[in-house]
């Protein structure tokens, strides 16, 4: 059995950092981590202020959505997180944020194209918009699952916020910051009214090959365990 306390602390510390950055507000948004070697995740509870939470408040949930350990109800978005983990073996951590500039594109219903090398190398070829679904609904989980085959690590949730994936919690958290930088630049570039310069297809393909190779390596590693 995994050391659940270790992963509870990992999730909690990430929520504190994201809250201090303004990517999470109050109890809005959520963070989770796959439990190594088990079909379980550690995930933030529902309707609990992140800055007042303690490690024991983080929930342990199995892949059927059943609470295994914890005093509080798991995040209402648990189904959305599980939809990712079941479809992407390379993903070990997820952060769902309400960060400002990414959320602007959530209400504009506009995807973010490939603008920077580092963006494609870490986030993928585009930041796609996932169709709207009520928070915590099966529709939202299904909409998220339907996008997982693009192998990207950042998505915009229409009229909601952003979804970031990572091989580690550090990767997912970094991807949140990278998305916000990219979204901020793209917003101001669009506001200028001038043409937007995107990366050439050859560069996009090259960086996506590197990203997918790292994902495949992680998937193979997990399958061997």
Q: Is the pLDDT of residue 111 over 60?
A: yes
Task: State the pLDDT at residue 224.
Answer: 63
Residue 219 binned pLDDT confidence (cut-offs 50, 70, 90): confident
Q: Which of 77, 126, 173, 180 is catalytic?
A: 77
Task: State the pLDDT at residue 27.
Answer: 76
For residues 51-58, give the mean pLDDT. 94
Q: Is-catalytic flag, 77?
A: yes
Give me the percent of the chain exceeding a pLDDT of 90. Answer: 89
How many CB atoms lie under 10 A from the CB of residue 1? Answer: 7
Give me the percent of the chain exceeding a pLDDT of 70. Answer: 97
> Are 74 and 64 spatial neighbours (Cβ–Cβ below 8 Å)?
no
The gap from C-alpha 50 to its chain's centroid, in whole angstroms, comes to: 17
Q: Is the pLDDT of residue 56 over 80?
A: yes
> Are 151 and 120 spatial neighbours (Cβ–Cβ below 8 Å)?
no
How many CB atoms lie under 10 A from the CB of residue 175? Answer: 24
d(CA 153, CA 167): 9
Q: Is the pLDDT of residue 221 over 80?
A: no
Structure tokens belonging to residue 101 = 């500039």
Element (H, E) at 201: helix 201-224
Task: State the pLDDT at residue 9.
Answer: 97
Q: Is the pLDDT of residue 1 over 60?
A: no
Strand order in the sheet with 67-69: 67-69, 59-62, 40-43, 30-34, 93-97, 161-166, 154-157, 128-130
Average pLDDT, the chain: 95
d(CA 166, CA 122): 9
For residues 173-178, give the mean pLDDT. 98
> Are 32 and 65 spatial neighbours (Cβ–Cβ below 8 Å)?
no
Structure tokens belonging to residue 187 = 């917003």
- Tens of pLDDT along 112-139? 999 999 999 999 999 999 999 999 999 9
Q: Is the pLDDT of residue 173 over 70?
A: yes
Task: State the pLDDT at residue 2.
Answer: 62
Question: Which domains does the chain carry?
Answer: 4-224 (3.40.225.10)
Q: Is the pLDDT of residue 39 over 60?
A: yes
Residue 210 has φ and ψ, to the nearest 5°, of -65, -45
């Amino acid at each position: 059995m995994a050391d659940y306390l270790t992963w509870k602390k990992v999730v909690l510390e990430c929520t504190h950092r994201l809250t201090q950055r303004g990517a999470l507000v109050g109890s809005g948004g959520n963070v989770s981590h796959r439990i190594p070697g088990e079909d379980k995740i550690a995930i933030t509870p529902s309707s609990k202020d992140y800055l007042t939470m303690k490690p024991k408040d983080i929930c342990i949930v199995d892949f059927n959505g059943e609470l295994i350990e914890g005093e509080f109800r798991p995040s209402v978005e648990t189904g959305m997180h599980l939809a990712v983990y079941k479809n992407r073996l390379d993903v070990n951590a997820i952060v769902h944020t309400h960060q400002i500039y990414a959320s602007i594109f959530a209400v504009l219903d506009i995807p973010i194209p490939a603008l920077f090398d580092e963006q494609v190398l870490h986030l993928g070829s585009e930041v796609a918009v996932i169709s709207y679904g009520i928070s915590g609904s099966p529709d939202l989980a299904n909409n998220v699952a339907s996008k997982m085959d693009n192998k990207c690590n950042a998505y915009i949730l229409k009229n909601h916020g952003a979804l970031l994936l990572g091989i580690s919690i550090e990767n997912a958290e970094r991807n949140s910051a990278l998305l916000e930088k990219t979204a901020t630049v793209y917003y101001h570039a669009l506001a200028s009214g001038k043409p937007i310069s995107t990366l050439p297809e050859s560069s996009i393909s090259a960086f996506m090959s590197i990203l997918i190779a790292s994902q495949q390596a992680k998937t193979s590693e997990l399958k061997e365990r």
